[in-house]
Structure 1
């Protein structure tokens, strides 16, 4: 198994064709095809399959792809570590950020970071689990500021808690069930929740079991807060939001918390990184800037942030 073979597999997965992979790798289609064939010989499995619409990865290819991405990412980090010793700081830092943290603390964090490392290019992703966890796993993001996944991923990722807050059921302010006092009243509505690939999106509904209620009959998944807000504003869908996000969206987007009497689950937000992998200089600097910003009382002078943090416990 060779590095150029793994690069060919990743390139084919990203482009969907041998020709596209060849262009990405500045190579020839024949060379990419040969690399894939040699990789299949080395693992004795079919990794790709040709279709009328291009090349798709088999089940074995998908399993190999996750490891290939991580290996290539680790090689890049090793090179960056050597360059850092030479005095050349890495060029890019990729971070996924929970939406309400992005709307409150992120600008101040970035300003601090840019003052200290102006040569580093920043890349941001929305910090929902279905986007952040796979990218954190394969090395395409470095830090996830967001909610910890339950279960098996606890040993895969290192977690440092930052905030604790509650969850609430959210809807548009003129929703016909906006004043409902029980979860039982909401079971026949369309629920919109963030997909969690580790639990198939059903973890938020453990609260229904706790109160001897059936899960909602209609559950839909979203991977974008902007999409979720748009649907909540324009339909009778309801969702679960952390309180800080509700505070931010209440006035601006016409949303409200439905005052159900049942106690909902808490939401924990923290700094999540890959277990056993030391943070490089840029990652350490970003984490330092984040914690300094949260501990700095300057944010209390910003009315929107101060109102939002009224419902948050700071854990650092």
Structure 2
């Protein structure tokens, strides 16, 4: 297998078509097709199925894609490391950041990082488990600032804890159950929770099982804080937020914490990277800027940020 063949497979997966892959690679459709055919001959299996709407990867193609992304990503990092040693620091850093950290520490962190590495391009994702973990695994994400998969220890990821906070059930301020004192009173409502693919979405159900309660009649999974807030504000749905996010969203978005007596599991946020991946200059710089921002109280913090940070235990 050649690196240019693996790049073709990754580009086809990302673009959804051979023509799109050619544009991504600044190549021709014929060259992409030839690279794909050579790769299929090498593995002696079909990797791509052509459809009327484009192409899809076969099961074998999906399996090889995971490794192809790692190889292509590592080669890119190797070139960036050599370029940096030659005095050309241009590169790209891909990070995912959990919502409340993005709303508090991220702007100052990015400002410090850009001052030190102005030629590095940033790619930033919303830090949800369902988005971050697969990208960490396939090498398309360098750093994840967020939660570990609850109850799952993984040797493939390195974890450095930053914050610990409690969590709360949230609803709109005029919700008919906003003053409920027990989870029992909320079981017939629609719940919005972040999908955790590592445990097949079972984590929210376990929260009720520990109090010998039946699971809610309706649990829905989300992948966006923006969508969650819109639904919470406009419906009778409820959700679970870490306390810093409650502090940030309560007044601004008309949400409130429901005062249930049951204790929800704490939420721990940390720096998560892929184990065994060489640490590049940009990653080290970004992590250092984040740690400096967390520890430094001299930069301007709004009242909302202060309330949010006062609701967490800082672990660094």
Relative to the length of structure 2, the TM-score reads 0.95
Counting only pairs closer than 5 Å after superposition, residues 1-316 of structure 1 correspond to structure 2 as 1-150=1-150, 154-298=154-298, 302-316=302-316
Output the CA distance in 2 between the equivalents of 1:29 and 1:134: 28
Structure 1: gaps spanning 5 or more residues: none
Output the CA distance in 2 between the equivalents of 1:155 and 1:170: 34
Give the Å deviation of 1:6.
0.9
1:198 aligned counterpart, secondary structure: helix
Render the CA deviation track for 1:265-289: whole Å, top value 9, x for unaligned. 1100001111111221111111111
Give the Å deviation of 1:33.
2.1
Aligned residues: 316
Structure 2: gaps spanning 5 or more residues: none
Output the CA distance in 2 between the equivalents of 1:287 and 1:211: 38
Render the CA deviation track for 1:225-260: whole Å, top value 9, x for unaligned. 111111100011111100000011110000001111
2:95 aligned counterpart, secondary structure: strand
Output the CA distance in 1 between the equivalents of 2:241 and 2:161: 19
User: In 2 relative to 1, CA 170–151 (structure 1 residues): closer, same or farther, beyond 3 Å?
Assistant: closer
Give the Å deviation of 1:67.
1.1
Relative to the length of structure 1, the TM-score reads 0.95
Output the CA distance in 1 between the equivalents of 2:91 and 2:45: 37
Output the CA distance in 2 between the equivalents of 1:193 and 1:35: 42
Output the CA distance in 2 between the equivalents of 1:25 and 1:305: 42
Render the CA deviation track for 1:157-192: whole Å, top value 9, x for unaligned. 110000000111110011111111111111111111
Give the Å deviation of 1:314.
0.3
